[in-house]
Amino acid sequence: MAAPIISEDPLYRLLREDKIAEFNQRIKAGETAVLTGCDFRHIRLSGLITDGLDFTNSYFRQADLRGVDFSNCVSMEGASIHGAKISGAYFPREIRAEELLLSLEHGTRLRYSV
């Protein structure tokens, strides 16, 4: 498994700079973000609209995911949510609660079938 990256993608940079509203607006306008394998460590993502986004192999260690709805994202396969704040977060229905707990508590990568 490759280490998570800090991408040069301009939309990813908006997320790192806590510009969630601008990110959401630009995605809604048709721009595309490449977020697979990205490092979201310690980033606040509350308010992020994830519809159509691909978080495969992304790293959310200690990120603030409170209230984020991941149910319509493309994939979270291989992502890790170790130590993240997930109160009110909604994950894809294919991910079992046990799988989420293993990732949250031990950092395992999420495994599920779409």
* pLDDT value of position 114: 62
Q: Is the pLDDT of residue 2 over 90?
A: no
pLDDT tens column, 62-72 = 999 999 999 99
Write down the pTM of the prediction. 0.94
Q: Is residue 113 included in any domain, yes or no?
A: no
Residue 98 lies in domain: 1-107
**Number of structural domains in the chain:** 1
pLDDT, tens digit, 9 for 90 and up, residues 6-64: 999 999 999 999 999 999 999 999 999 999 999 999 999 999 999 999 999 999 999 99
Q: Is residue 67 part of a domain?
A: yes
Buried b (16+ CB within 10 A) or exposed e, 1-14: eeebeebeeebbeb
CA 18 to chain centre: 14
Residue 114 counted as domain residue: no
Torsion sign, CA atoms 27, 31, 37, 41:
negative
Do 20 and 38 form a contact (C-beta atoms < 8 A)?
Answer: no
Q: Which residues contact 63 (CB under 8 A, 6 or more apart)?
A: 40, 41, 42, 43, 44, 45, 81, 84, 85
